[in-house]
Structure 1
Amino acid sequence: MPCYRCGARQTDPVRGASPWKRGVRRETQVLICPDCQRLHDLDLEACGTCGSTSLICRLGEVECRACGSVRQARADAFVGSDAMAGSGAPPGLSAEVEAALNRVLGRA
């Protein structure tokens, strides 16, 4: 998954903690590269309980890594093409994934 702001791809990590951060934007989990983390306006969602932006989104729930608060993801955030248009996915990503699957599965 690339950085949602600049599209940089995460490379194989060296030993230790990854410098990349996770966040939630428009009810979708995103990655933030180390360079983009320096920006002040990341446009990430914040926890309604403690205000932290250390959120993860999985299986229709958004969980705060700071305080453990869990809430249901808002279904209205997924309606319409605007939600996907701002996802930051670089063009051609689906074709790139399909090609990788074809290589791994031995498809012609």
Structure 2
Amino acid sequence: MPCYRCGARQTDPVRGASPWQRGVRNESQVLICPDCQRLHDLDLDSCSTCGSTALICRLGEVECRSCGAVWLARTSETLDPAPVAPPPGLSAEVEAALNRVLGRA
């Protein structure tokens, strides 16, 4: 899953905690790369109870990690999201990775 702001993709992590951050935007889980985390306005969803942006989204629910509030996420039909284009060069990278794994020349 790429960064929702810039489209950068995660690479294989080194040992330890990942520098990437999770967030919730439009009631969907998103990843935020280390460069975009430096921005002050990430436009993430916030908890209506405590205002925190430390949210997680799973199985159709959004949970606040600060206060524990839980609510149902709206369905994709009500959100009508704009289509997201894959990052440039993604298909070529996937093809190259498959060729390496499958031993193709």
Under a length normalisation based on structure 1, what TM-score does the superposition of the two structures give?
0.74
Describe the SS at the equivalent of 1:43: coil
RMSD of the alignment, in Å? 3.1
Q: 1:55 to 1:95 in 2, by over 3 A?
A: farther
Q: 1:90 aligns with which of 81, 87, 91?
A: 87
Pairwise CA distance, 1:32? 0.2
Describe the SS at the equivalent of 2:81: helix
Deviations 1:70-93 (A, max 9, x none): 110023xx22784143x5753686
Identity of aligned residues (%): 78
- Which consecutive unaligned segments of at least 5 residues does structure 2 have? none
Q: 1:40 to 1:60 in 2, by over 3 A?
A: same
Q: 2:90 and 2:12 mapped to 1: Cα distance?
A: 18
Alignment: residue pair count: 103
Describe the SS at the equivalent of 2:42: coil
Structure exhibiting the larger radius of gyration computed from Cα positions: 2
Describe the SS at the equivalent of 1:50: coil
**1:7 aligned partner:** 7
Q: 1:81 to 1:63 in 2, by over 3 A?
A: closer
- Which consecutive unaligned segments of at least 5 residues does structure 1 have? none
Contact between 1:5 and 1:32, CA under 8 Å: does it hold in 2?
A: yes
Q: 1:74 and 1:15 mapped to 2: Cα distance?
A: 36
Q: 1:68 to 1:36 in 2, by over 3 A?
A: same
Describe the SS at the equivalent of 2:13: coil
**1:59 aligned partner:** 59
- Segments of 4+ in structure 1 off by > 4 A? 91-101
